[in-house]
Structure 1
């Protein structure tokens, strides 16, 4: 596996590490009053990483078959036409980034919903779909945290563009399953690493770390939609620029 591919996967994993499920919910867990319960963090993050890994294995299996079919279908396609298609797709991804940003902004702007998610994270329960004045969470303990991780991962399925891009790179790399599985596991570890590091700081510094975590939480709550838009848009810009450079470069 080349160094370029490793760096690309690491960058995409770090983008994924700033999502709602991999950073904001863990910060809420760390802001729970009293002593930090490392076991709750471990259950939640392990579940998230495991879900992403299992989903990645299934998608890479499908992507590998799809890529073989696509390569066969595009074998006789003019390279210029292929690059034009890549340019168009990059522009579509850039447009999609604005749509996703607007959707996340509209959803996160609902105070009742955010309070229910925060209450669910801090109690280790599943978010309740009832009204704001009703019961905010149901369930609890390890089972509730695992269910919360499942719900968070499912809700983020439509915003997994960095993850899908990483899976595409892995499927296109032509590595054996040992290397691909190891790279996918490493991706999932990097994806939860910032939350793990914040947890270690919170345990070591105790209440002194709480103001920092609160500032990160406030910033993330305000700017999560913009961060998503920039991350998805960055992928589209990269695709479009790569195609444009290829189209403008003289043939070898």
Structure 2
């Protein structure tokens, strides 16, 4: 496994932390939940991590089986031009993506049970996974480098850990500082409500550039 691949995948994982969904739900729970907060939040974050890891592992195993065909496809100029155009469209669309939203799409919990936390984690993951461009780009890079199972499995697990690290950091700060975190959390929630589109535009822009630069050699 090359250092360049590790840096690129790590950078994509950090880029994925810009997605406001998981951190936004965490902030919402910290502001509204008083009882059994730790267990509920950990179940929610674990559900998100397991969901994304399962999707990633399934894709890695499926793409690995199709690798010979994929390799020849990527070397095809028509396919390369298609991916290049897709990257260019993502890059251009990122400048037109609505960057300000007056209202938040934050889910409101009708139930506060453990099952509700699992359902919330599954629902937010299911909604967000379709737009998880950095995650799919990282999986594509790992597949293209033909990493063996013992290499891509911990790399994928590390990626998912980085994805849920910001909510964990916020939770630790909330646990240590208590009421001191109330006002910063409220400001953070307001920021997500206003700028969630901005994060999505940055993700589209960077993933578009990655697709462009990784197909140039085959054009």
Matches within 5 A, 1:1-252: 1-32=1-32, 34=34, 37-73=37-73, 77=76, 84-97=81-94, 101-102=97-98, 109=102, 114=106, 117=107, 119-120=108-109, 137=110, 139-241=111-213
**Deviation (angstroms), 1:156:** 0.9
Conservation of the 8 A alpha-carbon contact between 2:91 and 2:204: yes
3-state SS, counterpart of residue 174 of structure 1: coil
3-state SS, counterpart of residue 155 of structure 1: helix
Q: Which runs of 5+ in 2 are unaligned?
A: none
Q: Deviations for 1:128-177, whole angstroms, at most 9, x for unmatched residues?
A: xxxxxxxxx2x431100000011101111221111111111111121111
Rounded Cα–Cα distance in structure 1 between residues aligned with 2:214 and 2:54: 31
Aligned-residue Cα RMSD (Å) equals 2.7
Range 204-213 or range 6-15, more displaced: 6-15
Q: Which runs of 5+ in 1 are unaligned?
A: 121-136
**Deviation (angstroms), 1:12:** 1.4
User: How many equivalent residue pairs?
Assistant: 219
Rounded Cα–Cα distance in structure 2 between residues aligned with 1:140 and 1:203: 20
TM-score (norm 2): 0.87
Rounded Cα–Cα distance in structure 2 between residues aligned with 1:225 and 1:67: 34
**Deviation (angstroms), 1:84:** 4.4
Rounded Cα–Cα distance in structure 2 between residues aligned with 1:173 and 1:241: 16
Conservation of the 8 A alpha-carbon contact between 1:16 and 1:162: yes
Work out which of the two has the higher radius of gyration on C-alpha atoms and give 1 or 2. 1
Rounded Cα–Cα distance in structure 2 between residues aligned with 1:96 and 1:63: 28
TM-score (norm 1): 0.76
Rounded Cα–Cα distance in structure 2 between residues aligned with 1:182 and 1:33: 33
Rounded Cα–Cα distance in structure 1 between residues aligned with 2:194 and 2:187: 11
Conservation of the 8 A alpha-carbon contact between 2:103 and 2:193: no
> Given the superposition, is the C-alpha separation of residues 36 and 62 from structure 1 closer, same or farther in structure 2, using an over 3 Å criterion?
same
Conservation of the 8 A alpha-carbon contact between 2:102 and 2:194: no
Rounded Cα–Cα distance in structure 2 between residues aligned with 1:65 and 1:98: 37
**Deviation (angstroms), 1:3:** 1.8
**Deviation (angstroms), 1:236:** 0.7
Tell me which of the two structures has the higher relative contact order, counting C-alpha pairs closer than 8 angstroms and 6 or more residues apart: 2
Conservation of the 8 A alpha-carbon contact between 2:73 and 2:79: no
